[in-house]
């Protein structure tokens, strides 16, 4: 197993179905419960563990998940409301070392609860036409709503696997 991609790289079907979207939304809907089960009672020592040398700590990962979901949610909304908007990248490495990443992880879990609730609400009401709407990412190019929903689910699971791996060491 490549510890950088413990659940594999993101794979999106060529033709995304509503069933695919519903599966991803179920993962997103239950994510904070599963994250809480994993990190709620960790000591500072455990929150400072990493899944590989040079990687972010468990604490930084939890804050990163919230930061990323916030950015991806905004991109999703922009794709649904604007005509192929251009969205900026954000420097994840610089975000990961800002002072707010030293806060208790609870602040980011609360953030995720709200963001994920909003993502699920949006996702459950998508039309087939909306699945094909897109935004253009400054670095990664054109990304459709269906691909973004897939990534929202994958990204959380990807980092939960990192956290579990770090804690198992």
The 10s digit of each residue's pLDDT in 16-36 is 999 999 999 999 999 999 999
State the Cα–Cα distance between residues 125 and 158, nearest whole angstrom.
25
pLDDT of residue 84: 97
pLDDT at residue 163, rounded to an integer: 98
pLDDT of residue 40: 96
> Tens digits of per-residue pLDDT, 68-123?
999 999 999 999 999 999 999 999 999 999 999 999 999 999 999 999 999 999 99
Q: Which residue reads 């198992």 in tokens? A: 168
Computed over every residue of the chain, the mean pLDDT equals: 97
Q: Is the pLDDT of residue 1 over 80?
A: no
Q: How far apart are CA 56 and CA 6, in angstroms?
A: 15
Coil, strand or helix at 70: helix
Task: Catalogue the long-range contacts made by 127-135 (C-beta closer than 8 Å, 24 or more residues apart).
Answer: 128/18, 130/80, 131/16, 131/21, 133/79, 133/80, 133/84, 134/79, 134/84, 135/75, 135/78, 135/79, 135/82, 135/84, 135/85, 135/86, 135/87
């Amino acid at each position: 197993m490549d510890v950088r991609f413990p659940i594999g790289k993101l794979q999106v079907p060529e033709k995304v179905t509503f069933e695919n979207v519903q599966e991803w939304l179920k993962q997103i809907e239950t994510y904070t419960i599963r994250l809480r089960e994993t990190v709620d009672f960790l000591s500072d020592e455990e929150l400072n563990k990493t899944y590989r040398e040079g990687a972010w700590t468990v604490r930084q990962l939890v804050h990163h998940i919230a930061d990323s979901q916030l950015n991806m949610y905004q991109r999703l909304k922009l794709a649904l409301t604007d005509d192929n908007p251009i969205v900026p990248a954000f420097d994840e490495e610089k975000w990961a070392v800002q002072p707010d990443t030293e806060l208790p992880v609870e602040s980011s879990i609360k953030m995720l609860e709200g963001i994920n609730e909003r993502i699920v609400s949006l996702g459950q009401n998508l039309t087939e036409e909306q699945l094909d709407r897109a935004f253009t990412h400054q670095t990664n190019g054109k990304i459709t709503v269906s691909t973004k929903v897939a990534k929202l689910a994958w990204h959380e699971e990807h980092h939960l696997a990192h956290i579990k791996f770090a804690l198992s060491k």
